[in-house]
A and B are shown apart, each in its own frame.
Chain A
């Protein structure tokens, strides 16, 4: 039972709002787009998936395209984790290396290309709580410790 998300629709609504901000952000988006890959995030509890396309041309004003829910695009790399773990990751309080070491995150494909994105998305850790606040979801904001 997820600590943060009621169901898949709830997760997709929150991530949709957040990713819309991230992929429009000039500083983060520019660097993300250099990765040139398609990433599929597979979430459990609730089960759903999100695909981020950093390979094909995005629509104007964006540096990448995201798809909420199943998507036909063939991913270059995938990452599977619980929705709650992902929620904490976007707050910057999960060590991604430790998460893989402990098997909390599974991944496959061009993993090294995705790894290069880690420092790039770090500024988004500040944006996620802001997005939650803007959605009126202050109670979902997680603090360290």
Chain B
């Protein structure tokens, strides 16, 4: 086997039973790797009756076929599980250095079941995994725990760690890698916590990897690296990080302000954008393995209530979630909130969005001092957010901490009284900081159709709609108008496949914007020997997309869950997109038609599943189902 190692480690934490699975080579090409292969393994091996945080729940860490290849953007990996936040199949992507290390250890992934008797660390060495008890680490913040693991397993070890939020089973707890990179979304950190698994560590030396066509791989790296580096998006990312275009996005109405009640605030745009972050707080840049883009920010805030020592800086999503969304222009507070969330191990998008919802609920009087234990939740009050609310959420402490630790949809359901109307989420997952009402109406459809909930990276729609993609090989040369529904369902049909390919290949969606479809095909073939054509690669992407929806259907999700909240359907109140309504229902109906999906069940028609090689899945869901 090329690229992939062909071996996936398994461990039952309760029984301390270690093993491995060796999927047939053909399975890799059919499901690509990463989130696609994770979905297939989940379908085949998961106990669908198991609650997300029960010992029977499955937790997967999965590499893509390109892990270890010295190409910008190829060093991401996937974690997957049933989300404790949404109840749906969840996959989360993380950059950094763990993916190559896992490959060097000889594994394509790790499948974890059971619950360790005591807090433990899963240690991956060359060709072996082992469970080591580590009760002393339980309760530690992520920074401290990561430092201790480095002392224990050596400076070159690579770490995936949960914080107190994961230990406390906060359903949007994340997993942090090296205290900087995050498997942010869907609460997979809580799944680790439920298994008493504080950390996963690799302690391996670099090893040679076998690729199908070594010369062509070298050529591709040589050709693609400067192209990726010089790409417009890469240049912005390198100079200013992912918040680099916050100001530009604000002018289009893409950046949500004050819990999505506004689409424009010029002062905040200037105060929070990436160039301001660079000017005021950047000390140096960081990167993922082998990446020439170097978009990571290392920041330091010297003084004031939000002082932070030098360390990981915020991404765009965090800047907006703890800036504009909370009606704050305080960039130091964003840096601090980012560091607090990282150390506690909480997804910054869900955390920020839930607090924004709570601030509106407090303003409306739906949430009172009785609910909050006396805490006043006022717009822009970052001192309360950073020093009181976030720690309470992670600890599930007090009435407010307990309520907000449910995420916005859970908290709104608990509060009742129409509070769900002004949440901004699909399937229980809070939307990222791109407002479809200004950024592009296709985003709205993409959020609703994404298997894991409102997500801008499950598909490539975000980039395709804004003009960052040109794929003539698959017929995508559309000049899309952002604020219309025209061609959006047809675009999403392609974007769903491309997003699935990217997440299964574990490619960075920034770096691979420079790649053509043909080059993606060549990479898969030269590295892993998949023998793809553009058509069969796109088919693999579609297969993955439909399989994830089949998994969700088994968890009870139907077409009715492919929906937007009332707030997301309201026309924007200001900015460029003011007053324009999204034709969501028409787009949804059209998308179902384009994808041959059943308008009630929300899964593909039986013949589509069969044509994609999902015969067993089709049989279970269409023939045996009532």
Contacts and interface: CB of A to CB of B under 8 A. Distances in A.
Contact of B247 (A98, A100, A116): A116
B188 to A, nearest CB: 32
A111 B248 contact: no
B248 A119 contact: yes
Q: Is the interface of B mostly helix, strand, loop or mixed?
A: helix
A112 B235 contact: yes
A122 B245 CA distance: 15
B247 A122 contact: no
B438 to A, nearest CB: 12
B467 A119 contact: no
Interface residues of B, number: 20
A95 interface: yes
B251 A119 contact: yes
A120 B247 CA distance: 10
Contacts of A97: 232, 466-468
B285 to A, nearest CB: 14
B235 A111 contact: yes
Contacts of B247: 116, 119
A73 interface: no
B235 A119 contact: no
A74 interface: no
Given A112-B239, A112-B240, A116-B275, A98 B250 contact: no
A99 B245 CA distance: 17
B489 interface: no
Given A115-B245, A116-B275, A98 B479 contact: yes
Contacts of A96: 467
B275 A101 contact: no
A20 B466 CA distance: 31
Given A111-B232, A111-B235, A112-B236, A95 B479 contact: yes
B37 interface: no
Interface in B475-525: 479, 513
Contacts of B240: 112
Contacts of A100: 232
Interface string A62-81: 00000000000000000000
A102 B468 CA distance: 9
Nearest to A102: B470
Contacts of B245: 115
B244 interface: yes
A116 B232 CA distance: 12
Contacts of B329: none
B469 interface: yes
Contacts of A140: none
A115 B236 CA distance: 8
Contacts of A118: 248, 251
Q: Could you say which interface size class chain A belongs to?
A: 10 to 19
Given A112-B235, A112-B239, A101 B248 contact: no
Interface in A81-103: 95-102
Contacts of A115: 232, 236, 245, 248
A119 B245 CA distance: 10
A138 B419 CA distance: 52
B204 to A, nearest CB: 38
A98 B240 CA distance: 21
A122 B251 contact: yes
A95 B235 contact: no
Interface in B452-473: 466-470
B588 to A, nearest CB: 25
Contacts of B275: 116
Contact of B470 (A101, A111, A116, A122): A101
Interface string B285-317: 000000000000000000000000000000000
Among B251, B275, B467, B469, the most chain A Cβ lie within 10 Å of the Cβ of B467
A97 B235 CA distance: 13
A112 B244 contact: yes
B467 A98 contact: yes
A95 B232 CA distance: 14
Nearest to A94: B479
B33 to A, nearest CB: 27
B257 to A, nearest CB: 15
Nearest to A144: B481
Nearest to B472: A102
Nearest to B247: A119
A95 B470 CA distance: 13
Given A95-B479, A101-B470, A102-B470, A116 B248 contact: yes
A101 B467 contact: yes
B466 to A, nearest CB: 6
A116 B251 CA distance: 11
Nearest to B232: A100
Contacts of A122: 251
Interface in B408-438: none
Interface in B220-260: 232, 235-236, 239-240, 244-245, 247-248, 250-252
Contacts of A111: 232, 235
Interface in B186-242: 232, 235-236, 239-240
A130 B248 CA distance: 25
B250 A119 contact: yes
Interface in A114-134: 115-116, 118-119, 122
Contact of A101 (B250, B252, B468): B468
Nearest to A105: B232
B279 to A, nearest CB: 12
Contacts of A98: 466-468, 470, 479
23 contacts: A95-B466, A95-B467, A95-B479, A97-B232, A97-B468, A100-B232, A101-B232, A101-B467, A101-B469, A101-B470, A101-B513, A102-B470, A107-B232, A111-B232, A111-B235, A112-B239, A112-B240, A115-B232, A115-B236, A115-B248, A116-B275, A118-B248, A119-B251
5 nearest interchain CB pairs?
A98-B467, A119-B251, A97-B467, A95-B467, A112-B239
Interface of B: 232, 235-236, 239-240, 244-245, 247-248, 250-252, 275, 466-470, 479, 513
Given A99-B467, A111-B232, A122-B251, 18 more contacts: A95-B466, A97-B467, A98-B468, A98-B470, A101-B468, A101-B470, A111-B235, A112-B236, A112-B240, A115-B232, A115-B245, A115-B248, A116-B247, A118-B248, A118-B251, A119-B247, A119-B250, A119-B252
